[in-house]
Amino acid sequence: MTPRRPWPLNVDGIAYGGDYNPEQWPLEVQTEDVRLMREAGVGLVSVAIFSWAQLEPREGDFDFAWLDAVLDRLHAAGIGVALATATASPPPWLTRKHPEILPRLADGTVLHQGSRQSYAVASPLFRDYALGMTRRMAERYRDHPALALWHVDNELGCHVPHDCSDAAAEAFRRWLRHRYGTPAALNTAWGTAFWSQHYDSFDEVLPPLSAPTFVNPTQQLDFARFSSDELLTHYRALRDVLRELTPHVPTTTNLMMSTGTKWMDYFSWADDLDVVANDHYLIAGDPEAHIELAFSADLSRGVAGGDPWMLMEHSTSAVNWQPRNRAKGPGEMLRNSLAHVARGADAVMFFQWRQSAAGAEKYHSAMLPHAGEDSDVWRGTLELGRRLRSLSPVRGSRVVADVALVFDYPSWWASESEGHPTQALSYPDEVMRWYRALWRRGVTVDIVSPRTVPSGHRVVIVPTLYAVDDGCAARIAEAAHGGASVLVTFFSGIVDENDHVRLGGYPGAFRELLGVRTEEFHPLLQDETLTLDDGTSATLWSERTRLEGARAVRTWAEGPLEGLPAVTRNPAGRGSAWYVGTRPDADGVARIVDALLAEADVAPAVPGLADGVEAVRRRADDGTSFLFLINHTSHDVEVPATGRELIRGEEVRSHLTVPALETAVLRER
Ligand code: GLA
């Protein structure tokens, strides 16, 4: 159970810190920064993410002196550095000299300098400049004792996931040649017999540019795959330079795993990251943002293959990029931080160390706010540092989960395509509907890719897994045959990896496993709700389903499908296969989840907890377990427990009180 992944060098315990942008401040402030970082117990900071223009103000004219001094100062204070390649934003001289490296949208709009990330990731010219800068950084700092981790670029694809520049078109054609070999194979995969789209050569192919109406869906799906791959290719190219010059230093980049970031297939990036790092921001308008946080953390752990991972960025309080930016409430930052640790993070870092006085992010919170040290945010920063030190023993332990939820980026892309039975389908909404019910039951969930469904989970939830190849379908069936209770929801298994419908009845890939066959979809209209025979209701979707071996668990109580099955169960080997052919309301989902958990004998981490109290367990190699209890409610809760509470340093003999809005971490053995 020892983690497979390397960790930032010389950083003890749970890593604590944030993005550090000293170039925005005069020297006396930078000196104060280091003093305050020490006071807060900061041990790792990300430096030089957006420093290219300061490090190379004119082409070929480098100024590293200021960065040398920053790294020396940090090292003297015992603070490690996640050093960036400084390539996340090209300097103005570069985009002025070579406007051809600018990215372009599908409608032809060019994205200019003056913001950030103004580069076409597929541009060979940009790549050369970025490789050159990366090499400079690695040559300069390869032996610097502060160097703990390499941070490549920053949030690759955040602003421009789909570049449609000429360079991208060229690279897309190369990618297609590699995937298909011949135009004939591409024509078959893309179904170009439709609408006169036949290609005679790869040279005729373009990215999916703005067009009169629906663009070929397989072209769109392949472009999404290509774009994710191309960002990864850029990462790899820079990473390879770093590996060549500093093979002993781990390399990563910060991913954005949440329900809000759609376009990077992070499961396919995982093997290239020495350590998986995630950035997560709460959505202020979501009253259950802490559940979305839990999902993001579980997804990060899933991408990391269960290993500890780094929370590379989150916010101490408000962000500045949502329509209305709410400050965090009492204790919320501490609960957020420890919820990530509960779910496998061994690093808690923020954007950013000191709140900017100028620039587009000046109203984004930071560890040290505009108000300075006499502020609740700074007191929170100090308190978090203290807590993380007390949680050092947790480092390296792994989260225990009996339930897996299958999550798939390509299915997200393809299921929300145009020209579908409903435009109201949101893949993350469907996923979160099931995730939320499990969170409320206190059951910890591993988020897994259909390409690597691990064995051993007692329940496997498969929400709207629209596009599946035969291998994925087989892996999910194997989970059921091996003893799991597998639940598949509507619009799953409908198409293959080329977005071609699996013929003969829906849900094609899972028909046999589920023992059902659907002839026709009956999507519901906006605001249409239909009742099921258990009194719960459903929206969005229904379908004319025939039983072919399965038994009906719920039927429609009204509407055109009255009496027909809506939820079914089929025995499958040593397990079972459930089908939910609609979108049940929250009560309906909860009842189905309860039935599954009961059937599979899955218990919550702590049975009988009050609503809104989160409990997650991490286990160390030596069998020690750490129980995280996060009380999101406004009343104190009593939890039966024995062990040692690490944050307050108290022995617990029978009961532990977790105060309202507070967190406790119990070492159980
Ligand atoms: C992202 C970026 C940071 C910063 C934050 C603000 O995570 O990586 O540079 O812009 O967003 O929330």
Q: CA-CA distances (angstroms) from residue 158 to 121, 182, 411?
A: 12, 33, 20
Query: Are residues 414 and 292 part of one domain?
Result: no
State the distance from the centre of ligand 1 to the C-alpha of 390, rounded, in angstroms.
28
Query: Are residues 589 and 645 part of one domain?
Result: no
| HSE (side-chain half, CA atoms, 13 Å) at 523 | 9
State the distance from the centre of ligand 1 to the C-alpha of 82, rounded, in angstroms.
16
pLDDT in tens, 599-649: 999 999 999 999 999 999 999 999 999 999 999 999 999 999 999 999 999
CA dist., res. 145 & res. 567, Å (int): 60
Checking if the pLDDT of 129 tops 50, the result is yes
Checking if the pLDDT of 3 tops 60, the result is no
Phi and psi at residue 430, to the nearest 5°: -65, -45
Tallying the residues shown for the chain, one arrives at 669
Q: How high is the pLDDT of residue 1? A: 46
Checking if the pLDDT of 453 tops 90, the result is no
Average pLDDT, integer, range 338-343:
98
Among 567, 600, 633, identify where a domain stops: 600
Q: Give every CB contact of residue 22 below 8 A, 6+ residues apart in sequence.
A: 30, 33, 47, 66, 70
Average pLDDT, integer, range 43-65:
98
Q: Does 204 fall in a domain?
A: no
What CATH number is given to the structural domain containing 633?
Answer: 2.60.40.1180
Q: How high is the pLDDT of residue 2? A: 47
| HSE (side-chain half, CA atoms, 13 Å) at 93 | 11
Q: Does 43 fall in a domain?
A: yes
Residue 153 Cβ < 6 Å to ligand 1: no
Q: Does 580 fall in a domain?
A: yes
Q: Does 206 fall in a domain?
A: no
Q: Does 3 fall in a domain?
A: no
pLDDT in tens, 532-577: 999 999 999 999 999 999 999 999 999 999 999 999 999 999 999 9
Establish whether the linkage from the previous residue to 352 is cis, with ω within 30° of 0. yes
Q: CA-CA distances (angstroms) from residue 587 to 404, 447, 529, 534, 563?
A: 21, 23, 14, 10, 20
pLDDT in tens, 67-112: 999 999 999 999 999 999 999 999 999 999 999 999 999 999 999 9
Q: CA-CA distances (angstroms) from residue 392 to 100, 259, 395, 477?
A: 49, 30, 6, 41
Domain range enclosing 334: 15-162+235-392
| Cβ 221 vs Cβ 117: under 8 Å | no
Average pLDDT, integer, range 170-176:
98
State the distance from the centre of ligand 1 to the C-alpha of 158, rounded, in angstroms.
9
Percent of the chain, pLDDT > 70? Answer: 99
CA dist., res. 609 & res. 93, Å (int): 59
Q: CA-CA distances (angstroms) from residue 620 to 57, 455, 456, 612, 669?
A: 48, 21, 19, 26, 10
Does 313 participate in catalysis according to the annotation?
yes
H, E, C per residue of 592-641? HHHHHHHHHCCCCCCCCCCCCEEEEEEECCCCCEEEEEEECCCCCEEEEC
Average pLDDT, integer, range 122-143:
98
Q: Which of 56, 292, 313, 332 is catalytic?
A: 313
Q: How high is the pLDDT of residue 497? A: 98
List the structure tokens of 667: 């070492």
Q: Does 356 fall in a domain?
A: yes
Query: Are residues 410 and 381 part of one domain?
Result: no
Phi and psi at residue 566, to the nearest 5°: -115, -35
Residue 151 Cβ < 6 Å to ligand 1: no
- Helix 289-303 / helix 332-342 crossing angle, nearest 10 deg: 30
Helix (H) or strand (E) run with residue 575 in it: strand 575-580
Among 357, 373, 392, identify where a domain stops: 392
Query: Are residues 315 and 346 part of one domain?
Result: yes
Residue 364 Cβ < 6 Å to ligand 1: yes
CA dist., res. 334 & res. 662, Å (int): 8
List the structure tokens of 98: 């070579």
Query: Are residues 303 and 434 part of one domain?
Result: no
Among 392, 418, 441, identify where a domain stops: 392
**Buried-exposed string 547-571: b where 16+ CB fall within 10 A, e elsewhere:** eebbebbbbbbeeebeebbbbbbbe
CA dist., res. 523 & res. 559, Å (int): 12
pLDDT in tens, 506-536: 999 999 999 999 999 999 999 999 999 999 9
Name all contacts of 499-504 with Cβ < 8 Å and 24+ positions apart.
Answer: 499/217, 499/218, 499/221, 499/414, 499/417, 499/467, 500/191, 500/218
Query: Are residues 339 and 240 part of one domain?
Result: yes
Query: Are residues 121 and 72 part of one domain?
Result: yes
Number of domains in the chain: 3
Which of ligand 1's atoms lies nearest the C-alpha of 50? Answer: 9
Residue 154 Cβ < 6 Å to ligand 1: yes
pLDDT in tens, 295-321: 999 999 999 999 999 999 999 999 999
Query: Are residues 383 and 265 part of one domain?
Result: yes
Percent of the chain, pLDDT > 90? Answer: 98
State the distance from the centre of ligand 1 to the C-alpha of 574, rounded, in angstroms.
47
Query: Are residues 652 and 553 part of one domain?
Result: no
What CATH number is given to the structural domain containing 490?
Answer: 3.40.50.880
Instruction: Sort residue 322 into left (φ over 0), alpha (ψ -120 to 50) or beta.
Output: beta
Mark out the alpha helices in 304-418 (DSSP H runs).
332-342, 376-390, 409-415
Q: How high is the pLDDT of residue 5? A: 84
Q: How high is the pLDDT of residue 669? A: 74
pLDDT class for 256, splitting at 50, 70, 90?
Answer: very high
State the distance from the centre of ligand 1 to the C-alpha of 119, rounded, in angstroms.
17
SS3 658: strand
Does 361 participate in catalysis according to the annotation?
no
Enter the pTM of the model: 0.98
Q: Does 435 fall in a domain?
A: yes
For 254-258, 454-458, 664-668, which range has the lowest pLDDT when averaged over its residues? 454-458
| Cβ 380 vs Cβ 343: under 8 Å | no
What CATH number is given to the structural domain containing 46?
Answer: 3.20.20.80
Query: Are residues 354 and 241 part of one domain?
Result: yes
Average pLDDT, integer, range 30-49:
98
Average pLDDT, integer, range 218-247:
98
Mutate to test the pocket of ligand 1, among 89, 155, 283 (most ligand atoms within 8 A of CB): 155
Residue in 653, 648, 640, 642 with CA at minimum distance from that of residue 664: 648
Query: Are residues 445 and 382 part of one domain?
Result: no
Residue in 556, 559, 597, 605 with CA at minimum distance from that of residue 576: 597
Q: Which amino acid belongs to residue 253?
A: T
- Strands annotated E in 99-190: 147-151
CA dist., res. 548 & res. 209, Å (int): 43
Checking if the pLDDT of 663 tops 60, the result is yes
Average pLDDT, the chain: 97
| Cβ 84 vs Cβ 154: under 8 Å | yes
Checking if the pLDDT of 136 tops 90, the result is yes
Query: Are residues 276 and 323 part of one domain?
Result: yes
List the structure tokens of 50: 């957006």
CA 184 to chain centre: 36
pLDDT in tens, 383-431: 999 999 999 999 999 999 999 999 999 999 999 999 999 999 999 999 9
Q: Whose CA is nearest to atom 12 of ligand 1?
A: 319
List the structure tokens of 13: 């315990």
Phi and psi at residue 420, to the nearest 5°: -100, 170
